[in-house]
Amino acid sequence: MRASEKRRSARHITAEEAAALVKSGDWVDYGAVLGQPDAFDRALAARAPDLREVRIRACLSVKPRAVLEADPVGEHFEWYNWHFSGYDRKRHDEGRCHYIPCNLGEISDYYLRFLDPVDVLVIKTCPIDENGYFNFGPANLWHGAAASRARIVIVEVCQEMPYLHGEANGLHVSDVDFVIDADPGPLTELPSAPPGEVDRAVARLIAAEISDGACLQIGIGAMPNAVCSLLKDSGVKDLGVHTEMLTDGIIDLYNAGVVTGSRKQHDAGKLVCSFAFGSKSTYRTLDRNPDISSRPVEYTNRPDNISRNERMVTINNTTEMDLQGQAASESSGHRHISGTGGQLQFVRGAYGSEGGKSFICLSSTYERRGVRKSRIVLDLTAGNIVTTPRSDMMYVVTEYGIANLKGKSVPERARLMISLAHPEFREDLERNARQCGLLGRNTY
């Protein structure tokens, strides 16, 4: 019998009793972002001496994880992750965290088709509602799919969790085995990175491409937030939202009346997201707001769903691009730093949207040990992972301009990418491109 076919009867227990259900060799799933448990994590960490090879899956840890802090050499717990936060990246650098390559919008399907059933699933939720559901709050994602394949389902009830309306955003009490109480206190917040002049220059170029009624997906970071800041005062109106992550920048546009969703062809009037992470003010805006619709990640991230709204505009960061238009957004050589996330799926969804535009943005340079280096290169750093292939790339934006690579030949792409690089590096890039034949006949 599949786990999803069981009829359960939720029982309230302590975090310590819940942690006692875990056995050596189990797969334990912590869910993602604000849905990761804390009281259970601490109780499981206390059991470290009794356990071996407990494998834990998680995503975007928003605070230190007790199981990792209690087990610095990995004798007891193994940590697997769908997308790194800064904390996960540090643990990866220590050899304690292992990335699982994925398109974020496919993860529900991985649980249903490719992964063994979860032994213990523990996710943080809102208190039970009047209809008998434990709402996932701002962390819908793949939690429903994981629960349907879990042997034991535990919810960690958090009084501070904002309640988000939306399809399949929660578990019915009959699908839950045990209920524990979360630690008291406010939810973790994500500080907004203040935009610099380069961020604002890139934002100005992108904002000029956004028209009334466009539908937005905004990624994380200072550049996308700078776009939101500019749009707030640009006079553009009736924007829609269909995004993976709901950010402070989008909520600021909503509170300013710029985002209404009134011109969306699908989910009209709704800000559609799969998860949210931001400030206390954003959490207050989300709580029981009928304009917000939180959906599973396979709904928000599937390219065919994204393309159902016309003039879909997707804005995402990258860290390095080559002259042919490949974007490496998730690694620095063999060092993994974040994840594929939804970038490729939203690039493809925007392309399929009538009048859609996808923007991959980056600063032209970065500094390492006091030396300025170009983010636009002849060849990607050895070991770097291609997040968005050259065949999918549409608009590329740096502080030096904007270029659409769709339909462009290799020599045309190389020239456009060189024009977006910092002037200090253009001559070398052009010379190297000629030597490699990227600009046509080799004259050297």
What is the rounded CA–CA span in Å between residue 358 and residue 375? 19
- Residue whose C-alpha is closest to residue 363's, from 203, 193, 217: 203
Contact assessment for residue 229 and residue 223, using Cβ atoms and an 8 Å cutoff? no
244 catalytically annotated: yes
> What are residue 127's DSSP bridge partners?
none
Q: Closest Cα partner for 149 from 129, 164, 171?
A: 171
The DSSP H or E segment spanning 90 is helix 86-93
Q: Which of 444, 391, 436 is nearest to 418 (CA)?
A: 436
Q: Given the residues 78, 106, 156, 244, select the one marked as catalytic.
A: 244
CA–CA separation, 38 vs 183, rounded Å? Answer: 7
- The first and second tokens of residue 89, run together, are 């990246």
Using DSSP, state whether 439 is helix, strand or coil: coil
Query: What CA–CA distance (Å, rounded) separates 120 from 438?
Result: 53
Q: Do residues 41 and 67 lie in contact, with contact meaning Cβ atoms separated by under 8 Å?
A: yes
Amino acid identity of residue 255, one-letter, is N
- Which tokens sit at 362? 């980056």
Rounded-to-integer distance, Cα 151 and Cα 119, Å: 5
Q: Which residues are catalytic?
A: 244
